[in-house]
Each structure stands twice: as structure tokens, then as C-alpha cells.
């Protein structure tokens, strides 16, 4: 039987119905939205540049030996700068996985640091690694904590907040601050943009469907705008590369400049500040990239480029109301949360990881089937019990089987498991997506398989992993020392050494 739906990677997934025929303005971020950077090449580039910056700040030259491992980091982790731990948490701050360097802490170790396995989202202590740009630093945090914790020259403090070398104390918070500063420096002043532009084919994906996607949206009667934090010169080089095809918006149309696909273009937006007080709105001289003097007050003109501004001024100038706008981006905080909560824009989150998530789901479907069977077996053990029953059924074998199957499922996604789940529990990232009611495609061109001018209905599919929605939560505490995982991704027994870790 032929499916009426496009292949899963080309679908749009929603958790709330959306009437696209009511959308009058489509807004787009550039980085990781219109411009999709190649993974892991781009993360490797950023990782190497940040390492070099840290060495220039006085960090040991040995850190140059770190090699980026794309199987380790996942978006949505919290970095606890007090103890130097990477945390995978649920939507409420309950800790699902705790990693110190590359050691996955056992249940009792987590409880020693975090009573009730809970941590409040405190911005003075916790940094949320929510974006694709955060992947290199996520792995670098793990590398540095592992390096200083296990180096014979450094001794970890009794309070576990850092390491000491002679009279020198290096807190995990200072390491965090150094890495964050190095990342910002590389993005603003360093060679990341320069090296990207020098080898666009190496770092940027190119898709001939992109001009056609934007043209189809405009044909529906909507207006399009580009709203990016990147500067004009970088934006122009990237966008020129992305639209460098013989055809235009249709296969039989000639090529045209990328700016003609948008009604309004804003660079240097400084999101999320743009959605609050904003900055001065200025016009850009496209021949030099320089900003013109004074604040732009008049109507926004087609084929012109503007810098900065605020959402309040911008929406007035284009004549938009909150729910008239659908903004498409990859940054769940800077693009999605702020635009939706502060300005009421509809939001559309790009999730490139969906391709891998769907691949694992289909490739490991036998594991989902096993979970469903185990769920039925567990129900059968309880179905004949009532309130007068004094003996509880022996569910140890079923419990162990559920835990083992769930562990195999997690490892199929990578060292930190799925972006959306840990075991059967939803992650902090998944909770944000559900709260915001945001449609998610794996990439912008993948939306070509969907009609962009009609309603996108919400239908709740059965999620195979949800069939054990309470089991591993109930059993994880008792059994956490029986199942481990290491940086190499292999399951180990309880006595296989200090590198083993809780699944």
C-alpha cells in the first residue's frame, strides 16, 4: 500500500494544529535554518579554533590533542558550572543523566551532589546548551573536565568544585567562563567565518530546492523576510552561495539574486535582544557593508538591507500583527521562545537531528516491539490483583528486560542518547518543544513535501517508546549500578572499572 505522506525526513511534525493559510509573513533565520552547516565538519572547525584560543590564554598545549567526537554531544544539556557536570534533565529539572568529564555517574554519586536528583534552572550556575552552535563547546567541556580531573599534576578539590595544582586553584566555573569567552571570541573576532567562507563547499550544504521553497511561499500571497544575527558581508557570501543555481524559483526560470526572494532583509538583529528593547535600525550600504548614518524611520523597501532594530519597530513598519507572522529558526530560545512569548509570533523550529532520530526509530523497530511486548507482560502480572491481594507478583525479570532494552535503544542514538528522551522520559529540550507547540522539519528544503498554504493538522501518533512510560523511572534507582556505559559506547558489567557509567 502506497503512503500518501512524504518520507519521514521530509515531513513536518506538529504538536498543535496550525492554519498556514492565515499566515501573512514568513520570517527566516539564516544560520542552521536557510544555511545548513555540514556536520561534523563545521563542529570540528569550531572545536579546533576554540582549543587554539584557550591555548593562547594559557591553557596547557596538550589540549590540542583533543579530537572532536560527534557521537558524544547532544543539544539541550545543562552544564553545571559548580561541579563541572553535563546534565541531561527532564522538563522539570529532574536529572536523567549526569556526566563528569566522560564518566557517567552512578545513582548514589548523583545523589551526593544533587539531593533528590534535582537541580533548579539557575542562570548563575546552569548554562543551557540548546543550539547547534553549542555542540563543539559541549564536547570541549567534557574534554577539559576529564583532562584536569585525571591529570596527575592536578588534584580535585574535596568539595568537587575544581582542581588544584600547587598554589593554583582552577574552579570548574572559571573553566566554563574561559570556554564561553573563547567561543564568543572565535565567533566574533576569530577565524570561524573567514575559514567558512574560504571553503564553503566543505562546510555549507547546498540544496537546489531552496529557491523553489521560498518561491512557493510567496506564490501563496505571503511576504517573506530574513532576520539574522550575522553581519551583512557574511550573510551575502553565504546566501549568494546557497542560491548559486542556473534556475530561479522554478526550474524553467533564470537565476536571480538571493535578495529578490525576500521582501525585507534584516542583519545584525542581535536576537533575543531584538524581541525586547532592540537596537537602532539602520540601512546597510550593500556595496561596502557599512551602516548608513542615522536611524531609519521610513517604510522598509524591497531589495534593501537593514541592520538591527527591534521587533516592535519592525512589525509596525511591515504592517504585521503577532499571529500574522510565522518565524522559522533553529534556536529554541533566541528564535522560538522569545519571538513567541514576547511578541506572539507563530514559530517553526528546524531540528536537523530528526533525520537521525527517525532513522534509529525505524532501524531499531524490533526494540520498540520488545518494549510493547514487555509492557503487556507486566500488565498481565497485575491484572488479576485487587486491593485484598497480599502478595505482589515477581516482576524482576520483566523489569530487568525493560531496562536492558531501553539501554540498547539509548545507545543507538549516541553516547548521550536521544535528543527528545532518556529512557522513556522526555528531555528538557523535548519539553520546550511541546510547550511551545512548534512544528519541526529536519531542514527547510524538506518542507517542499508539504503544502505551505493549508492547515497543518495535529495528529498524535503512538510513540513506541512511551509504552514504558513509568517502568524505567520506577526501576532506575535500584538498578542503576547494574548497567553502565562508556565513552566508547559499549555496555559494561558492574566491575569493569572506573570509566563505566550509569545508563
User: What is the spatial distance between Cα 371 and Cα 403, in angstroms, rounded to a whole number?
Assistant: 10
Tens digits of per-residue pLDDT, 350-390? 888 988 888 888 888 888 888 889 889 988 888 877 777 77
H/E element, 165: strand 162-165
Q: Which residues pair with 79 in a beta bridge?
A: 86, 127
Tens digits of per-residue pLDDT, 304-334? 999 999 999 999 999 998 889 999 988 877 6
User: What is the spatial distance between Cα 390 and Cα 435, in angstroms, rounded to a whole number?
Assistant: 42
User: What is the spatial distance between Cα 347 and Cα 418, in angstroms, rounded to a whole number?
Assistant: 23
Establish whether 410 is an annotated binding residue. no
The pLDDT score that the predictor gives to residue 503 is 24
Tens digits of per-residue pLDDT, 389-419? 778 888 899 989 988 887 888 888 999 999 9
| Edge-to-edge strands, sheet with 168-171 | 155-156, 162-165, 168-171
Q: Domains, the chain, ranges and CATH?
A: 14-36+206-349 (3.40.50.1000), 41-200 (no CATH), 354-492 (no CATH)
Average pLDDT of span 97-101:
97
Positions marked active-site: 29, 31
For the chain, how long is the longest CA-to-CA vector? Answer: 83
Please report which confidence band the pLDDT of residue 200 belongs to, taking 50, 70 and 90 as the band edges. very high
Tens digits of per-residue pLDDT, 245-303? 999 999 999 999 999 999 999 999 999 899 889 999 999 999 999 999 988 888 898 88
The pLDDT score that the predictor gives to residue 479 is 40
Between 172-188 and 41-56, two packed helices, what is the crossing angle to 10 degrees? 110
Establish whether 330 is an annotated binding residue. yes
Please report which confidence band the pLDDT of residue 26 belongs to, taking 50, 70 and 90 as the band edges. very high
| Average pLDDT in the chain | 85
Grid-cell match 509492557, residue found: 375
Q: Is the pLDDT of residue 475 over 50?
A: no
The three-state (H, E, C) secondary structure of 37-83, written as one string: ECCCHHHHHHHHHHHHHHHHCCCCHHHHHCCCCCCCCCCCEEEECCC
Q: Give percent above pLDDT 70 in the chain.
A: 83
Q: Is the pLDDT of residue 466 over 60?
A: no
The answer to whether residues 53 and 46 touch, using CB atoms and an 8 Å cutoff, is no
Q: What is the DSSP string of 267-320?
A: E---TTGGGTT----EEB-TTT-PBPSS---SPPPTT-EEE---HHHHHHHHT-
Give 8 or 50, the one with higher predicted confidence: 50
Q: Is the pLDDT of residue 492 over 80?
A: no
The answer to whether residues 129 and 333 touch, using CB atoms and an 8 Å cutoff, is no
Reference 438, options 315, 342, 324, 345; nearest CA is 345
The pLDDT score that the predictor gives to residue 464 is 34
User: What is the spatial distance between Cα 89 and Cα 76, in angstroms, rounded to a whole number?
Assistant: 9
Alpha carbons within 13 A on the beta-carbon side of 374:
27
Reference 497, options 485, 489, 122; nearest CA is 485
Q: Is the pLDDT of residue 458 over 60?
A: no
Average pLDDT of span 136-152:
98
Establish whether 207 is an annotated binding residue. no
Amino acid at each position: 500500500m502506497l503512503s500518501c505522506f512524504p518520507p519521514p525526513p521530509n515531513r513536518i511534525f506538529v504538536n498543535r494544529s496550525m492554519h498556514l493559510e492565515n499566515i501573512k509573513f514568513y520570517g527566516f533565520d539564516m544560520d542552521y535554518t536557510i544555511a545548513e552547516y555540514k556536520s561534523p565538519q563545521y563542529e570540528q572547525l569550531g572545536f579546533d579554533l576554540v582549543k587554539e584560543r584557550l591555548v593562547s590564554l594559557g591553557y596547557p598545549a596538550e589540549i590540542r590533542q583533543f579530537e572532536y567526537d560527534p557521537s558524544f554531544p547532544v543539544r539541550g544539556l545543562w552544564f553545571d558550572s559548580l561541579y563541572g557536570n553535563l546534565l541531561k534533565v527532564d522538563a522539570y529539572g529532574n536529572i536523567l543523566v549526569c556526566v563528569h568529564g566522560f564518566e557517567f555517574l552512578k545513582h548514589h554519586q548523583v545523589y551526593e551532589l544533587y539531593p533528590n536528583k534535582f537541580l533548579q534552572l539557575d542562570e548563575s550556575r546552569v548554562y543551557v546548551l540548546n543550539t547547534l552552535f553549542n555542540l563543539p563547546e559541549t564536547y570541549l567541556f567534557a574534554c577539559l573536565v576529564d583532562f584536569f580531573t585525571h591529570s596527575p599534576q592536578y588534584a580535585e578539590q574535596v568539595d568537587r568544585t575544581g582542581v588544584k595544582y600547587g598554589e593554583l586553584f582552577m574552579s570548574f566555573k572559571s573553566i566554563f567562563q574561559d570556554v564561553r569567552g573563547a567561543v564568543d571570541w572565535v565567533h566574533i573576532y576569530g577565524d570561524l567565518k573567514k575559514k567558512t567562507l574560504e571553503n564553503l563547499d566543505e562546510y555549507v550544504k547546498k540544496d537546489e530546492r531552496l529557491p523553489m521553497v521560498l518561491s512557493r511561499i510567496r506564490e501563496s500571497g505571503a511576504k517573506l523576510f530574513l532576520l539574522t544575527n550575522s553581519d551583512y558581508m557574511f550573510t551575502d557570501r553565504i546566501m549568494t552561495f546557497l542560491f548559486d543555481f542556473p534556475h530561479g524559483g522554478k526550474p524553467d526560470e533564470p537565476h536571480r539574486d538571493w535578495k529578490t526572494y525576500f521582501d525585507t532583509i534584516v542583519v545584525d538583529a542581535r536576537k533575543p535582544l531584538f524581541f525586547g528593547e532592540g537596537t537602532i535600525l539602520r540601512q546597510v550600504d550593500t556595496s561596502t557593508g557599512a551602516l548608513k548614518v542615522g536611524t531609519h524611520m521610513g517604510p522598509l523597501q524591497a531589495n534593501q538591507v537593514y541592520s538591527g532594530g527591534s521587533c516592535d519597530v519592525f512589525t509596525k513598519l511591515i504592517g504585521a500583527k503577532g499571529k500574522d507572522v510565522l518565524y522559522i529558526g533553529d534556536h529554541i530560545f533566541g528564535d522560538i521562545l522569545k519571538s513567541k512569548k514576547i511578541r506572539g509570533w507563530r514559530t517553526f523550529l528546524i531540528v536537523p537531528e530528526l533525520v537521525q532520530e527517525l532513522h534509529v526509530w525505524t532501524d531499531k523497530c524490533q526494540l520498540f516491539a520488545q518494549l510493547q511486548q514487555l509492557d503487556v507482560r507486566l500488565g498481565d502480572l497485575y491484572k488479576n490483583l485487587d486491593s485484598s491481594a497480599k502478595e505482589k507478583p515477581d516482576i524482576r525479570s520483566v523489569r530487568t528486560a525493560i531496562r536492558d532494552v531501553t539501554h540498547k535503544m539509548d545507545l543507538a542514538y549516541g553516547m548521550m542518547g536521544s535528543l527528545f528522551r532518556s529512557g522513556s522520559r522526555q528531555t528538557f529540550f523535548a519539553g520546550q518543544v511541546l510547550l511551545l507547540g512548534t512544528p519541526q522539519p529536519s531542514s527547510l528544503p524538506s518542507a517542499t513535501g508539504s503544502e505551505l498554504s493549508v492547515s497543518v493538522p495535529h495528529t498524535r501518533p503512538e510513540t513506541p517508546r512511551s509504552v514504558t512510560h513509568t517502568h524505567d523511572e520506577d526501576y532506575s534507582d535500584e538498578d542503576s549500578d547494574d548497567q553502565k556505559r562508556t565513552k566508547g559506547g559499549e555496555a559494561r558489567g558492574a566491575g569493569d572499572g572506573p570509566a563505566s557509567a550509569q545508563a
